[in-house]
């Protein structure tokens, strides 16, 4: 343990440089940026999500369009539902006043009631809000498809109703009430709208989880630079000649990186603690430290496989960005291609991001997220050890 202590002191001295100072400055900037995303209402309470308006161009004026309009107005993600003409709706979209335009085609309800092929509901997306628009478009498509259940129930009800009601106006009124009742029951069971996709549009919480995951991986670059400086200075060969165990050399570098990570976490947590009281400090640490450890040991594995420090640094940067992208930290998972969602769980960032995101929603974090995140640390240590034994430097 004496050698480990000496290595820790040596690498700590080596880490006091301009690059570490730049890292800490970046951390402070991230904390300030996260804080700047928060606005406050007249009561001084933090507003973590700004509802977005939509325009509904209703050419049908029927039960189904009424249900969609009412349910849109009740969604937390939606501010106002504007009932517009297409011309006015396009003006709002061009002025970036709305998230999207939803156009209900003419005779949509009649075609549904008659069992005919329905004209498609048309959606115009705001190109300046690509992530939010695509998420909400998927939500709406699911909602429209779910009206098949309303349609089937309505058919059965109308067949029985025709036996006792011979007035078309009364039949229409009874049908409207029945359709509303069925739709309300579907909504209450979350069968009509995917609430989770709406929740994914909470931009601030998404950004917090994403930046926290990115921040956890950045100190791994400091660990990589320590290894590269060690190789360039010849210290690496002297350690080999002294028969110092590989795990002591790697562990000491990783501990120094962890020290700077914890140092940087302090301003980040202070910036977020008042706004997000549900995010406790120990939960944040448990979420991001395994991610840091995994990326740090993988970075060390790369460091001892090439003498080209610039190429290795670029590879590590690309690895970090890839982990974040595949883990759902750059674009929401719903917007990622299917093949990326299939391999999503190979990214250690997925588990860190998911833990923080679930905590922000005050939901219980699945145990497997903790188990697999720590398993990824063990795997990365094994990879790092194998890389050392097959070192090319």
3-state DSSP of the chain: CHHHHHHHHHHHHHHCCHHHHHHHHHHHHHHHHHHHCCEECCCCCEECCCCEEEEEEECCCCHHHHHHHHHHHHCCCEEEEEECCHHHHHHHHHCCCCCEEEEECCCHHHHHHCCCCCCCCEEEECCCCHHHHHHHHHHHHHHHHCHHHHHHHHHHHHHHHCCCCCCHHHHHHHHHHHHHHHHHHHHHCCCCCCHHHHHCCCHHHHHHHHHHHHHHHCHHHHHHHHHHHHHHHCHHHHHHHCCCCHHHHHHHHHHHHHHHHHHHHHHHHHHHHCCCCCCCHHHHHHHHHHHHHHHHHHHHHHHCCCCCHHHHHHHHHHHHHHHHHHCCCCCCHHHCCHHHHHCHHHCHHHHHHHHHHHHHCCCCCCHHHHHHHHHHHHHHHHHHHHHHHCCCC
Average pLDDT, the chain: 78
| C-alpha–C-alpha distance, residues 298 and 388, integer Å | 11
How high is the pLDDT of residue 143?
57
Residue 39 has pLDDT above 70, yes or no: no
Residue 49 has pLDDT above 50, yes or no: yes
Confidence category of residue 255, pLDDT binned at 50, 70, 90:
very high
The separation between CA 212 and the C-alpha centre of its own chain, rounded to angstroms, equals 11
CATH for the 50-199 domain, from 2.40.160, 3.40.1710, 1.10.3470, 1.10.3720: 3.40.1710
How high is the pLDDT of residue 10?
77
* Closest among 136, 138, 134, 149 to 192, alpha carbons compared: 149
Looking at the chain, the whole-number percentage of residues with pLDDT higher than 90 is 19
Q: What is the pLDDT of residues 277-326, one digit of tens each?
A: 788 888 888 999 999 999 999 999 999 888 788 889 999 999 999 999 99
Gyration radius from the chain CA atoms: 28
| C-alpha–C-alpha distance, residues 384 and 390, integer Å | 10
**End-to-end Cα separation, the chain, in angstroms:** 26
- Domain residue limits, the chain: 2-39+202-389, 50-199
State mean pLDDT over 93-102.
Answer: 84
Higher pLDDT, 13 or 289: 289
Say if CB 53 and CB 78 are below 8 A apart.
yes
CB atoms near residue 54 (< 10 Å): 28
Four-CA torsion 73, 78, 79, 84, nearest 10 degrees: -70
Residue 81 has pLDDT above 50, yes or no: yes
**Dihedral-angle region of residue 375 (phi above 0 means left; psi in -120 to 50 means alpha; beta otherwise):** alpha
Say if CB 329 and CB 213 are below 8 A apart.
yes
How high is the pLDDT of residue 254?
94
How high is the pLDDT of residue 391?
78
Q: What is the pLDDT of residues 126-182, one digit of tens each?
A: 776 665 666 666 666 555 555 555 565 666 666 666 666 777 777 666 666 666 566
Token reading at 272? 């977020």
Residue 371 has pLDDT above 90, yes or no: yes
How high is the pLDDT of residue 291?
95
The separation between CA 234 and the C-alpha centre of its own chain, rounded to angstroms, equals 43
Q: What is the pLDDT of residues 313-367, one digit of tens each?
A: 999 999 999 999 999 888 877 778 888 988 999 999 999 999 998 888 778 888 9
Q: Name the burial class of residue 242, with classes exposed (0-12), middle (13-18) and buried (19+) by CB atoms within 10 angstroms of its CB.
A: exposed
Q: Find residue 172's DSSP bridge partners.
A: none
Q: What is the pLDDT of residues 174-214, one digit of tens each?
A: 666 666 566 555 544 444 444 344 444 456 778 788 888 99
Number of alpha carbons in the 13 Å side-chain half-sphere of residue 203: 15
How high is the pLDDT of residue 315?
92
């Amino acid at each position: 343990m004496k050698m480990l202590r000496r290595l820790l002191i040596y690498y700590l001295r080596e880490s006091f440089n301009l690059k570490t100072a730049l890292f800490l400055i970046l951390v402070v900037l991230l904390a300030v940026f996260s804080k700047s995303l928060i606005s406050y209402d007249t009561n001084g309470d933090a507003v973590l999500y700004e509802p977005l308006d939509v325009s509904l161009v209703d050419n049908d004026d029927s039960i189904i369009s009424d249900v969609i309009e009412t349910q849109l107005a009740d969604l937390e993600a939606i501010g106002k539902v504007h009932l517009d003409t297409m011309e006015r709706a396009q003006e709002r979209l061009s002025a970036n006043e709305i998230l999207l335009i939803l156009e209900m085609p003419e005779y949509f309800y009649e075609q549904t009631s008659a069992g005919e092929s329905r004209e498609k509901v048309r959606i115009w997306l705001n190109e300046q809000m690509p992530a939010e628009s695509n998420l909400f478009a998927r939500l709406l498509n699911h909602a429209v498809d779910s009206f098949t259940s309303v349609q089937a129930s309505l058919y059965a009800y109308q067949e029985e109703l025709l036996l006792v009601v011979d007035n078309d106006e009364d039949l229409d009124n009874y049908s409207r009430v029945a359709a509303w009742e069925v739709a309300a029951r579907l909504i209450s069971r979350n069968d009509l709208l995917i609430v989770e996709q709406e929740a994914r549009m909470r931009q601030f919480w998404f950004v917090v989880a994403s930046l926290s995951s990115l921040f956890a991986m950045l100190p791994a670059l400091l660990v990589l630079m320590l290894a590269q400086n060690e190789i360039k200075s010849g210290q690496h060969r002297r350690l080999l000649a002294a028969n110092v165990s590989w795990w002591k050399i790697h562990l000491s570098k990783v501990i120094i990186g962890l020290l700077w990570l914890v140092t940087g976490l302090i301003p980040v947590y202070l910036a977020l603690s008042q706004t997000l009281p549900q995010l406790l400090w120990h939960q944040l640490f448990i979420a991001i430290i395994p991610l840091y450890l995994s990326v740090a040991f993988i970075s060390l594995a790369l460091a001892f496989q090439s003498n080209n420090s610039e190429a290795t640094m670029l590879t590590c940067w690309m690895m970090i960005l890839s982990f974040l992208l595949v883990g759902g930290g750059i674009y929401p998972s719903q917007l990622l291609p299917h093949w990326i969602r299939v391999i999503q769980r190979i990214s250690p960032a997925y588990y860190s991001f998911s833990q923080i995101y679930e905590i922000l929603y005050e939901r219980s974090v699945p145990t497997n997220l903790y188990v697999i995140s720590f398993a990824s640390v063990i795997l990365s240590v094994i990879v790092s050890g194998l890389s050392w034994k097959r070192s090319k430097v």
